[in-house]
Structure 1
């Protein structure tokens, strides 16, 4: 007799936890859906997943350049990216404008640089050649 079990590690993040909360609070209110596997599967397949997909597609379209015009200050490579990402990159670009070529030095190894720290003493070692 062999044991047919495997150790499977499952992890979650805040997004998954938030979706679980929505599922429990808004979709699994009936006792049938909460008590029986068939009820849970029905709710997932017929309501929860289709509605989540629809909401995702609406939000994706709302953030698309097809739906709205971006400011001319936003570079094209940032179009269709999440607003928080755009804001972060734009803020960092403003900070990077304070750097000069003297603040960045190419190192002997290809794709490596020494870059002056913005707020602290010292430099950062940047390597574009290694993941």
Structure 2
């Protein structure tokens, strides 16, 4: 961290930009724990597919909701937010949950039941790792404790340690993939493949039922399936 800061401060772009220097020292560096990865080890992170979520929402509000409104006053804006923008966003959230649930469509046969009723991105993540795990020989997977395992890397001489966690401890694998996403990696699935007494259910329930990796059952129950548009979702049929 310190060497990276030194490199930045010695760069030509930094030294020639007083505004950047002021922002970096007075704003960014003071809040480094919020966005530097080394300070977030052991915490589940949620990928955000946009550089600025607030700006994205602002653009949608202006281009899709306000652009054709006659009343441009503050009261007109509040009306659009209350009657149009927020309800539309909430309906989209409900529809996306409903479309991904097994109440709307049955999952493909090769998708394990424990991946049903989860966000499509989570299902895709896990299915890719599950497929990759099939190439790991069972001899490369060894048990070193009740819930601790060693898995030899298929790309190097390294061994990764897999721990399935507890009610008070986060599950983990020492591989880069798990450290980046905090989601099940291929080494975890390799353990599932070898040992009959270890499965998805070996993960703590608070983790496997986390709101980050499950659908919102409450809004699914309130969804009107007849109003949903037909959509070709890759993970359902």
TM-score by length of 1: 0.71
Structure 2 residue aligned with 1:81: 118
Between the two structures, name the one with larger relative contact order (CA 8 Å, sep ≥ 6).
Answer: 2
Q: Does 1:96 align with 2:96?
A: no
Aligned to 2:147: 111
- Name the SS for the 2:161 alignment partner: strand
Deviation per residue, 1:82-121 (Å, 9 max, x gap) = 333222222211221222332122335x532221113233
Normalised by the length of structure 2, the TM-score is: 0.43
Deviating more after overlay: 89-98 vs 22-31 = 22-31
Q: Distance in 2 between matches of 1:127 and 1:78?
A: 20
Residue equivalent to 1:125: 161
Aligned counterpart, 2:61 = 23
Give how far 1:80 is off: 2.1
Is the 8 Å Cα contact of residues 102 and 116 (structure 2) preserved in structure 1?
yes
Which one of the candidate residues 18, 32, 45 is aligned to 2:82?
A: 45
In the aligned structure 2, how far is the partner of 1:16 from the partner of 1:80?
Answer: 28
RMSD, aligned α-carbons = 2.7
Deviation at 1:47, TM superposition (A): 0.8
Aligned length: 118
Alignment partners' CA distance in 2, 1:84 and 1:68: 17
Which of 86, 91, 100 is 1:63 aligned to? 100
Distance 1:117 1:17, change over 3 A: farther
Which ranges in structure 2 are unaligned for 5 or more consecutive residues? 1-30, 36-47, 171-237
SS where residue 99 of structure 1 aligns?
Answer: coil
